[in-house]
Structure 1
Amino acid sequence: MESGVLELYVLGDLTPEENLKVEEMAALYPEVKAELAEIEKTLGELADSYAIEPSESSRDSFLSKLTFNEEENITSLPTAKAEHNSQETLNKKEAEVIPLNNTKLNFYKYSFAACFALLIMSVAALFVLYGNLQESKEQLAVLQSSNQDYANQVNYLDKKVESTNEILSVYTNPDFKMVELKGTANSPESKMLVAFNPKEQKVMIDMKNMSMPTHDENHQYQLWALVDGKPVDLGVFDGVVSEAAMKKMKAIDKAQAFAVTLEPKGGSVNPTLEKMMVMGAI
């Protein structure tokens, strides 16, 4: 009743076989028969609403053009009647109906249901996939963070091993002279150690074990070498204990003593003797 077949039947757009099927269904089911009647009524009212009544002049003109031969009309009456009876017989045969086959209609219904179910399953699968993807991203972020922490630890340990190896190489190399610098009257508690290798022209200070007062951000400590009675600049450093241990200073091949003064940040051309912190002779 909702497939549109009944409307096609009323309009005469079905095949004879399909007409028979509709008529059998109408005979079996009162609701189908009632629906057919309602459709016929509706279409009839629609046709009447659009019908055009011919004018008197048009009708008279049409009838005046018709000619009749009395003998032919009399002779043709039985034939026309026979044809009419034949048509009625054909209509009666066509009125014999067989059950309506809804196979094609059912096929479309089941196909739509299958497609809809597949769509639901696909959407559900997409949600599951999206959730797994988000979880994988979170796990990846955790792994990346862990890898970064591990890399930082490895880098720290590498630097520590390198620093330790450097200290060992300094203390075990007989070419290095260990010069202890002691505090002056400006800072009696201060002390630090300078490693001097005149053969390789290396000067290094022990940043890990030194003890120097903390200075402000506008000052730095400056290391000096006393060479033939003249001070030679060996570079500046901050008085902060460092894990780096040994800090390489400027190269020099000979010296009789070392001293450290407190200078403006960046160092001075000549040492400020009033601010000498530590000193030690070789």
Structure 2
Amino acid sequence: MDTKAYIESGILELYVAGRLSETENEEIYGLLQKHPELLQEVLEIEAAVIKLTASVSPHAIDFESFSGRLNTSETKVIDLKPKKPNWMSYTGWAASVLLAGGLLWTLNRNAELQSDLEVANTDAIALEQQIESIRDNLSDANSVLAVMRDNNVTKIPLGGQGDFAETYANVYWDKDNNRVLLDADGLPEAPEGKVYQVWSLTLNPLTPTSLGTIDDFNTDDNKIFAITNTNESEAFGITLEPAGGSESPTMEQLYTLGVVSATP
């Protein structure tokens, strides 16, 4: 089993998201028992989801720093004659200190709350963007899986050619919608200044028709590309061409080739 291709297909994300049928869940559960790398991938996906939903913790209040601001130096008073303590004066002084301390704590606390609110708003926006990205990825994965599993879609394996015998690719041709899904994971990165070009072929006589170049091949993680194809294709091929593509395929740089079978 090609576990790398299975991981990159996106089906494990659907498994974690609970978007699969009971039969599919049981099938994947069985694979997780047999392939530790698949189980590790599921654990990493779950950990990423948990991290996204983590709450924002408020900052602690530094009461030690606050209480230090209320310390006052002791003042010695020499009485010239006995007299009753002026409790009203002491009470007023203490109330002033407490009021000043309370205002200081309130201002500091308000500043902290404002900072926490700004951080929470920023984190909430980032979280929404990450969740939206995950939804988009799951939607794309669902679309790809739907095409690959459709009985009316023709799968054409493209085998390596000549000096590039180790390369491979797969074409999923949806004739009803004039669309091709190209799984090019078996191709190496294109050298600088070069691009892969996809060809639709008729065989008698041999006539190539360009389906376009894959300009973002090196930067695309999944290596799955949607291509429009309105031709009555009898075969598909992929060549390496100069940036911008070529009018006709460079046969010395033919990496993969596959013939369309008579039935899907």
SS of alignment partner, residue 148 of structure 2: helix
Q: Is the 8 A contact 2:171 2:181 kept in 1?
A: yes
**TM-score with structure 2 setting the length:** 0.54
Point out which structure has higher relative CO (alpha carbons under 8 A, 6+ apart).
2
The reply to whether residue 200 of structure 1 matches residue 177 of structure 2 is: yes
Matching of residues 219-234 of structure 1 within 5 Å: 219-227=194-202, 229-234=206-211
Does the CA contact (< 8 Å) of 2:159 and 2:257 recur in 1?
yes
Does 2:137 align with 1:164? no
Deviations 1:202-233 (A, max 9, x none): 111125xx211222332111111113521111
Distance 2:165 2:135 in 1: 36
Instruction: Report the more deviating stretch, 117-126 or 157-166.
Output: 117-126
Residues 200 and 253 of structure 1, relative CA distance in 2, 3 Å threshold = farther
1:164: how far off? 2.1
The equivalent residue for 2:187 is 212
Count of residues paired in the alignment: 169
* Structure 2 runs not aligned, ≥5 long: 1-87
Task: Tell me the residue number matched to 1:147.
Answer: 124
- Counterpart Cα distance in 1 of 2:221 and 2:198: 20
Contact 1:198 / 1:254 at 8 angstroms: preserved in 2?
no
Q: Residue 199 of structure 1: SS of its match in structure 2?
A: helix
Distance across 2 between alignment mates of 1:167 and 1:155? 18
The separation in 2 between residues aligned to 1:122 and 1:174, in whole angstroms, is: 79
Cα RMSD after superposing both structures = 3.0
| Residue 255 (structure 1) aligned to one of 218, 224, 233 | 233
Residue of structure 1 in register with 2:60 after alignment? none
- How far 1:126 moved relative to its partner? 4.6
Deviation track 1:1-51 (CA, whole Å, cap 9, x = no partner) reads xxxxxxxxxxxxxxxxxxxxxxxxxxxxxxxxxxxxxxxxxxxxxxxxxxx
Cα 1:118–1:178 change in 2 (3 A) is same
Instruction: List alignment gaps of at least 5 residues for structure 1.
Output: 1-109
263 and 280 in structure 1: CA distance in 2 versus 1, 3 angstrom threshold: same
- 1:280 pairs with 235, 247, 258, which one? 258
Where 1:233 maps in the other structure, the secondary structure is strand
Partners of 1:279 and 1:203 in 2: CA distance: 15
In structure 2, do the counterparts of structure 1 residues 195 and 177 end up closer, same or farther at CA, with 3 Å as the change threshold? same
Question: Which is worse superposed, 262-271 or 176-185?
Answer: 262-271
Deviation at 1:184, TM superposition (A): 0.9
Whose radius of gyration is greater, 1 or 2? 1
Alignment of 1:1-150 (within 5 A): 124-150=101-127
SS in 1 for 2:162: coil
Aligned sequence identity (%): 23
Picking from 206, 216, 235, the partner of 2:212 is: 235
- Residue identity opposite 2:133 in structure 1: Y
Q: Which residue matches 2:153? A: 176
Asked whether the equivalents of residues 198 and 253 of structure 1 are also in contact (C-alpha less than 8 Å), the reply is no
Shift of 1:139: 1.6
Amino acid at match of 2:109: N
SS of the residue corresponding to residue 280 of structure 1 reads strand
Task: After TM superposition, give the deviation of residue 264 of structure 1 in Å.
Answer: 1.8
Number of the residue aligned with 1:188: 165
CA distance in 2, matches of 1:195, 1:140: 50
Instruction: Give the structure-1-normalised TM-score.
Output: 0.51
Q: Distance in 1 between matches of 2:248 and 2:114?
A: 60
Contact 2:147 2:174 in 1 (8 A): no
> In structure 1, how many angstroms separate the alpha carbons of the residues matched to 2:235 and 2:180?
12
User: Counterpart of 2:81?
Assistant: none
1:178 counterpart SS class: strand
Structure 2: distance between partners of 1:268 and 1:122: 82
CA distance in 2, matches of 1:236, 1:222: 4
